[in-house]
Structure 1
Amino acid sequence: MKRKKLLISSTLAGALAFSVFLPATYAHDALDVLGGAKGEVEVMTMEELKAMQLKHSINGSKNVKFLKQAAAVQINPLNGKQNNMADVYAHKGFAYTGTHTANGANGGVRVFDLKDPSNPKEVAVFANEIPYSWQEKVIVKTVNTPSFKGDLAAVSVQQTSRNNANRPDSVGGVLLYDVTDPYNPKKLGFYGLDRKITGTHELYLTTQGNRALVLTSSPYADYYTHGAVQDFQILDVSDPTSPKKIFGWNPRDLEQIPEDFNGYHWYAQDGKTRPVFNHSVITDNNAQYAYVSMWDLGTVIFDIRDPENPVYLGNTTFRANQKGSAHSAALAKGGNILIETREVSNPVGSGYESAYGYTRIFDIKDKTNPVLLSEFTTDLTFDIPPTSAGRSTFAKTVHDPKVQGNTLYLSYYSGGVLALDITDPSNPVEIGRYTPENADVWGVFVDRNYILASDMGQGLKVLLKNNSGGKSEALQR
């Protein structure tokens, strides 16, 4: 592949302790031994949730003025184990939730019928057939290709123990399922990765005409394979029974990356080091551009109109005193505004501002030159405990963004779900907040009249944006 020139700002500077150890806690950066661990909140059964009568608080104005919790349900135990929830997606009146690593993982994807938003019913489990793996992310789209017509689900698969000789059947990658009948998902295909790679962490399913594509984020693929496998790949899944890789990209493809780049450490011009790996990827609605969250390399933007030959356009950068951690992205204003969330769990560090991760908003009308418009922080951002308090935590960092119209929704772990008015992207204003007691909210998704939140310890929360629908609250305040 021809190496493309990228001008990296000299402000990309920072210190990171190097480690080749991959802890089993799956921190935001698994190679960062200073990072905190996810899933620290206790996973509760539905019976425990009902018995505790967990409270929640909701504040709202404007279009979320009447926001209310319609339901709170835990995923069902599977094979005698209570797994915990990861991300959430909705399609045609059904919620699809991934699962994390609690109690041995292999919780699969859970499907909830939302016909009655106040009483979601779990109706199916799928994608849990690969041993010693977890299924964090699921995207569902209606697809019409020469080989498949219906609703297609793409599921990320990660090993709980990378390259474990005692687990030869464990492998990461992408599972593809037919969910045209959500009650009866049918496996179509699997794209497997080298077992040296943990797997695909996040992904995005999209279409270009009668072609279906999956864009994947496989953190440290470059590092673990010395460049042989790419962190960012594009798969053609037009025939879901036979997914094919059509493109791969690593940062080492850029001119400014030295030949001795190890796939993870970016050496800034002042001699300091930052972590670089692919955490997440999305596209615009027409699949013309891809937005790849490359941690301290920022959000990298590609023109993917020719998906076999994407073209690098530009990337976001950070201030010298700002930790990077570009975790996820969303688009607004017809694709001219980029929302970038930064998952910083360790809020302190020599030469850096003391802050948990927060949200940045960019003007990307010129995609070769993203322009920072605003940064949104909360009361959690600077609420930093004394060093003596112990290990860092994800509880106060932002996680994922979703946009509907001029409203930005953020999942915020202990902060729950925040709603921002971004009518003026240079001046985002908080207009709503939903915070369950002991919240550990991983994902948020907006569909129809409801907002879905996935809580790692407490399961699926269904919020209604006004007084229509929703017969009762499953768990009262």
Structure 2
Amino acid sequence: LRTSVDLAGRPASSLAPVTNNFTVIGHTDLGASDTNGDVWVQGNFAYVGTWSDPCNGLGVKIVDVSNPASPAMIGRVGAIAGTSAEDVVVRSVSTASFTGDLLAVGIQRCDFQNASLDTAKFGVDFWNVTNPAAPVHLSFLGVTTGEGGVHELDLFQRGTSVYALLATPFSEWFDPEPGGDFWIADVTNPAAPTVVGQWGAGAHGLSRGPFYGQGSFGARFDHSVRASADGMTAYVSYWDLGVLTLDISDVTNPTLLSRTMYPPDADGDGHSVAVYQGTTKTFLLQNDEDFDPRSPAHIVSGGNVGIGSEAPYARPLWRSSDHKLSGRVVRPAREGCSPSDYGSAPVQKRIAVVKTYFTVFDPKRHRAACGPGRQERVAQRLGAAAVVHDFIARNTSPQFFSFPQGIRIPVLFTDHTTALGMVQAGRASLQAQQPAWGYLRVFDATTGQQVAKFDALPYVRTLSSPLGDWSIHNNEVRGNRAYASWYTHGIVALDLTPLNSATPGDPVLVGQFVPDGATSHSDFLPSTPIVWGVAIRPSDGLIFVSDMNSGLWIVSATGPAAAS
């Protein structure tokens, strides 16, 4: 359980906010009764979602911001027992069936103790908020069954039709009903929405299984989606697959146009995206949400270089001399579940390469003799310098799935080819890359190639850090400025004009707002600033900030942080 301590060890709630080229206009703690999710602003009203812990089903908070200096919560919508309501979108639409402000909120299951929810539907809830003081429920569209639900979404009008784009992580693999992770719903009549299209990476040959990706949380699933301004394109953030650009001109048949590409030794974790239209090119500002600062390691043996993902419970390879560990390799005769598996082979100060079967998602399963934790404890007891798991699986990428205690040596998971190369060479060097929390990557929207990045904040590139979460989360663009919600770093204002050079340059920090800390309602969150969402009101450029603990903040960017 994390405690309420800020960066300097004082109670977090005692600190004044950081306002570097920002001015605080207003604040409300929203009743301080739950954990806040994303934020949306529509005219004189803001809408703030609710996270899954505590799972109190309190839905979306409606806030009157007509006086930004004195915001006031006036009601809630989408309050459904046993669910969270993290992401919310409101659009002014006009169709033959509905005219007004339409709210859509993603509904996900968070109560797994209530067995009656095992057959329930989860998806998206629609409300008429033309009069936010008297919202009217229109409909609920169920998309997943028993678990999951809509994590993030977008809503737009195209011609005479209105569509909702829905992200349902892992539903392609785990939902009892067939479908992808990305859905399109026709909500032209929001009282009777219908699913008209869907897309999944597995069905299109881009993923072998739910946990097939790269890094310590290897996976390919739809985490987020947003529509282009003309509603013809969907930008789908598909974790380790990057951001997929889908042609949705035919909503019944989404078609992949391109995707952003990670280098093979990156951690992945493409969480969400914002679009920046530069002077001659379109750029995708991709937010990689990564809470594990250990980066994938390089495994060098016999002239070959492989990749290994580190176990977060073991000794960090980065703390080794020169950030690497080299030595002879030892391979047990069996799976290394007991000392006898090593026979008379010397283990002391060697790198133990052990066969680790993980065939849960494979067509033919192999029963492992023991789990990784036992393999690691045996090798450690025999004096091994490190353990490298020869991760044998067809449909899952090398990564940890358990959290054993007491492991004091580095532990890596690698593919079978790399492991065999280590054994054949007889020696190997395990080389750590610089640590990194999640940061901003910038891609050319046409080519999918990375052209720039921004990671120049304290702790983002360090293994050890003070209490807090130092990863980027969301991002919104106004003019030549981006405003990124960066959890404990608050809101980070970036000048995007360097991207317009002949050779694009990295965005430049021009301002930062960090709100006061507040008491956490969740055992999973510290009582520090944890900024989730950011929204910009088009009429006046005011920035609305949702902090998971402290509520809703309204700020104005000033000086170089102001949009141009």
TM class, shorter-length: 0.7 to 0.9
SS in 2 for 1:424: helix
Report the alpha carbon displacement of residue 383 of structure 1 after superposing the two structures with TM: 2.8
Find 1:114's aligned residue among 65, 78, 93: 65
Matched, 1:381 2:466: no
Matched, 1:424 2:498: yes
Structural mapping, 1:196-275, within 5 Å: 196-225=146-175, 228-255=178-205, 257=207, 261-262=208-209, 264-266=210-212, 274-275=218-219
Matched, 1:398 2:458: no
Partner amino acid, structure 2, of 1:340: Q
Give the % identical residues: 29
Contact 1:133 1:170 in 2 (8 A): no
SS in 2 for 1:347: coil
Find 1:297's aligned residue among 217, 233, 241: 241
Find 1:316's aligned residue among 256, 260, 281: 260
Partner amino acid, structure 2, of 1:373: V
Contact 2:212 2:218 in 1 (8 A): yes
Report the alpha carbon displacement of residue 102 of structure 1 after superposing the two structures with TM: 3.5
1:321-371 residue CA offsets vs partner (Å, 9 max, x unmatched): 21000000011117811110000001115415410000011122x3xx223
Runs of 4+ in 1 over 6 A off after TM superposition: none
Structural mapping, 1:56-75, within 5 Å: 56-60=17-21, 67-75=22-30
Contact 1:163 1:196 in 2 (8 A): no
The 1:166–1:53 alpha-carbon spacing in structure 2 relative to 1, beyond 3 Å, is same
Aligned to 1:17: none
Q: Tell me, in whole angstroms, the C-alpha distance in 2 between the residues paired with 1:299 and 1:403.
A: 17
The 1:41–1:135 alpha-carbon spacing in structure 2 relative to 1, beyond 3 Å, is farther
Contact 2:266 2:296 in 1 (8 A): no
Aligned to 1:371: 449
Q: Tell me, in whole angstroms, the C-alpha distance in 1 between the residues paired with 2:192 and 2:434.
A: 48
Matched, 1:279 2:223: yes
Matched, 1:341 2:291: no
Report the alpha carbon displacement of residue 396 of structure 1 after superposing the two structures with TM: 0.4
Report the alpha carbon displacement of residue 444 of structure 1 after superposing the two structures with TM: 0.8
TM-score (norm 1): 0.78
SS in 2 for 1:194: strand
Aligned to 1:452: 544
Structural mapping, 1:68-83, within 5 Å: 68-76=23-31, 82-83=33-34
Partner amino acid, structure 1, of 2:443: F
Partner amino acid, structure 2, of 1:441: V
The 1:272–1:376 alpha-carbon spacing in structure 2 relative to 1, beyond 3 Å, is closer
Q: Tell me, in whole angstroms, the C-alpha distance in 1 between the residues paired with 2:113 and 2:160.
A: 37
The 1:103–1:272 alpha-carbon spacing in structure 2 relative to 1, beyond 3 Å, is closer
Partner amino acid, structure 1, of 2:78: A
The 1:184–1:54 alpha-carbon spacing in structure 2 relative to 1, beyond 3 Å, is farther
Contact 1:380 1:397 in 2 (8 A): no
Structural mapping, 1:428-443, within 5 Å: 428-437=507-516, 438-443=528-533
Aligned to 2:40: 89
1:120-146 residue CA offsets vs partner (Å, 9 max, x unmatched): 011121110x22001001100011111
Report the alpha carbon displacement of residue 182 of structure 1 after superposing the two structures with TM: 1.0
Partner amino acid, structure 1, of 2:462: D
Q: Tell me, in whole angstroms, the C-alpha distance in 1 between the residues paired with 2:213 and 2:54.
A: 38
SS in 1 for 2:202: helix
Contact 2:153 2:225 in 1 (8 A): yes
Q: Tell me, in whole angstroms, the C-alpha distance in 2 between the residues paired with 1:85 and 1:273.
A: 25
Report the alpha carbon displacement of residue 198 of structure 1 after superposing the two structures with TM: 1.4
Find 1:185's aligned residue among 110, 121, 135: 135
Contact 1:163 1:198 in 2 (8 A): no
**243-252 vs 170-179, which deviates more?**
170-179
Report the alpha carbon displacement of residue 178 of structure 1 after superposing the two structures with TM: 0.3
Q: Provide the aligned C-alpha RMSD in A.
A: 2.7
Report the alpha carbon displacement of residue 424 of structure 1 after superposing the two structures with TM: 2.3
TM-score (norm 2): 0.66
Point out where structure 2 has 5 or more consecutive residues left out of the alignment: 5-10, 298-432, 517-527, 560-564
Q: Which structure: larger Rg?
A: 2
1:285-318 residue CA offsets vs partner (Å, 9 max, x unmatched): 1111100000001101101112112221011111
Q: Tell me, in whole angstroms, the C-alpha distance in 2 between the residues paired with 1:168 and 1:254.
A: 29
**156-165 vs 180-189, which deviates more?**
156-165
The 1:274–1:109 alpha-carbon spacing in structure 2 relative to 1, beyond 3 Å, is same
The 1:230–1:162 alpha-carbon spacing in structure 2 relative to 1, beyond 3 Å, is farther
Instruction: Considering Cα pairs closer than 8 Å and 6+ residues apart, tell me whether 1 or 2 has the greater RCO.
Output: 1
SS in 2 for 1:223: helix
Structural mapping, 1:2-41, within 5 Å: none
Q: Tell me, in whole angstroms, the C-alpha distance in 2 between the residues paired with 1:148 and 1:210.
A: 11
1:1-59 residue CA offsets vs partner (Å, 9 max, x unmatched): xxxxxxxxxxxxxxxxxxxxxxxxxxxxxxxxxxxx9xx687xxxxxx9x956411111
Q: Tell me, in whole angstroms, the C-alpha distance in 2 between the residues paired with 1:227 and 1:375.
A: 39
SS in 1 for 2:174: helix
Report the alpha carbon displacement of residue 100 of structure 1 after superposing the two structures with TM: 1.1
SS in 2 for 1:253: coil
The 1:194–1:350 alpha-carbon spacing in structure 2 relative to 1, beyond 3 Å, is closer
Aligned to 1:156: 106
Partner amino acid, structure 1, of 2:41: A
Partner amino acid, structure 2, of 1:85: N
